[in-house]
Amino acid sequence: MNSPQDNDSEIVTQERRARSNLPRIESAKLSAVEGSGYRYYPTGTSTKIKQARKLLEQVASFDSNVLITGESGTGKEWAARYLHDLADRADQPFVPVNCGAIPADLLESELFGHEKGAFTGAYATRIGRFEAAEGGTIFLDEIGDMSLPMQVKLLRVLQERVFERIGSNHSTPCNVRVVAATHRDLEQAITTKEFREDLFYRLNVFPIELPPLRERADDLPLLAESILNDRRNKGLDRITLTLGAQRVLKQYKWPGNIRELANLLERLCVLHPGGNVDICDLPSRYTAGVPLRSSDTEVLLEKRQAGAIPEEFELPGESTSLKDYLEKVEVSLIRRALEDAEGVVADAARRLQIGRTTLSEKIKRYKIPPSSAEALSSRSH
């Protein structure tokens, strides 16, 4: 979407099409409660994402420039789109430009356009991204990678709100809201003279920092839900992460943040279309180094040696009847399912593929202690 070959009108049409499919709710305040009315809602209930979301909602209706910072894959473009959808400009285009991906000598033409014959190869007049974004929002991604000469040109647009196509001496006024993003530390880049201080202050009118996923691990299930819904719209069969798998993923450090989570989920959707994904289905890098519960290890071993007879199903000894032995197996499996389901009886019953009432009766009959069932259950409600 960000390559220089992109056709501007195509971007605009795509954006309009995406928006027209969405139910919109009237006010930004409502969205904070509901969330679901916006396609690009920055999902989560952690304090850090709530703070970021609140800032986006507060600044949306003003035309201030916004600088979104955060590690790679933390959802900067997603947040910029949310901001745009909240603003009065929502019905106008949102035009993303990846300043890092476009070669420096092409970026000027990409942003401001050119006149026919302005340089070798300029066979026709072409409008730039600023013109394509007229009335709407331009999203300057990876702004920290912009060359110094381009920074000067961008500064002028921000100060004077006009630009010229290359090869033209006619200034075009522009009414475009600028949202920039970077994973780089721009203040550090200023000290090394790679980024202009005056441009930084122009862009940084309203800074918003997105937290890394490892600092909001509790948001992982909601985020996974949102990603799976998004991917389902793109034709991928959704999967269900078991509570055990969610618990393991919450402990992973996620260097690639939401992008890495989205990639993992896409892969799992392809491998297990419509299925349940358990700990043993996760690639080993996600389970390596994570302390597993004894029950997890058992499940892992069992599944990985699929077909082998697990040790615990040995022939009962002389002192044990088959009935007692089978009860023991049943109790062990119920405990394990309850532990995996964090004590939620309904979830454990689903895992065991029996009715909830049947499981409750068995828990009572076998006097399964509160540590495995009720205590966990009350914790998770």
Ligand X SMILES: Nc1ncnc2c1ncn2[C@@H]1O[C@H](COP(=O)(O)OP(=O)(O)OP(=O)(O)O)[C@@H](O)[C@H]1O
Residues that bind ligand X (CB under 6 A): 42-43, 70, 72-78, 183, 223, 226-227, 230, 258-259, 262
**Degrees, nearest 5: CA angle 264-267-270:** 150
CB-nearer residue toward ligand X: 55 or 373: 55
Reduced to 3 states, what is the DSSP secondary structure of residue 26?
coil
**Minimum separation from the CB atom of position 107 to ligand X (A):** 17
Contact 69, 179 (CB under 8 A): no
Q: Judged by CB, which is closer to Mg ion: 258, or 348? A: 258
Choose between 258 and 359: whose C-beta lies nearer to ligand X: 258
**Residue 230 contact partner, candidates ligand X, Mg ion, none, CB within 5 to 8 A by sort of partner:** ligand X
Which run of H or of E encompasses 162?
strand 162-164
Task: Give the residue at shortest CB distance from Mg ion.
Answer: 77
Which among 33-41, 71-79, 251-259, 316-324 is the span making contact with Mg ion, rule CB under 5 A?
A: 71-79
Closer to ligand X by Cβ: residue 78 or 252: 78
The number of CA neighbours under 13 Å toward the Cβ of 137 is 31
Bridge partners, 164 (sequence order): 171
Q: Binding partner of residue 258 among ligand X, Mg ion, none, CB under 5 to 8 Å per kind?
A: ligand X
CB-CB contact of 295 with 339 (8 Å): yes
Which of 8, 15, 77, 131 binds Mg ion (CB under 5 A)? It is 77
Q: Name the minimum Å distance from CB 265 to ligand X.
A: 9
Q: How many chain residues interact with Mg ion (CB under 5 A)?
A: 2
Query: What residue type is assigned to position 38 of the chain?
Result: Y
Rounded to the nearest whole angstrom, what is the least distance from the CB of residue 59 to ligand X in the complex? 18
Taking the C-alpha atoms of residue 78 and residue 3, their distance in angstroms, rounded to an integer, is 18
What residue 43 binds from ligand X, Mg ion, none (CB within 5 to 8 A, per partner kind)? ligand X
Q: How far apart are CA 111 and CA 104, in angstroms?
A: 11
Residue 118 CA to residue 105 CA, distance in Å, equals: 14
- Between 140 and 373, CB nearer to Mg ion: 140
CA–CA distance, 175 with 136 (Å, rounded to integer):
8
> What is the rounded distance in angstroms from the CA atom of residue 267 to the CA atom of residue 308?
28
Q: How far is the CB of 252 from Mg ion (least distance, A)?
A: 21
* CB of 125 or CB of 240, closer to ligand X: 240
> CB under 8 Å to 278, separation ≥6 — which residues?
242, 244, 245, 299, 303
When binding is defined by CB under 5 A, the residue of 15, 141, 145, 339 that contacts Mg ion is 141
Q: Which residues bind Mg ion (CB under 5 A)?
A: 77, 141
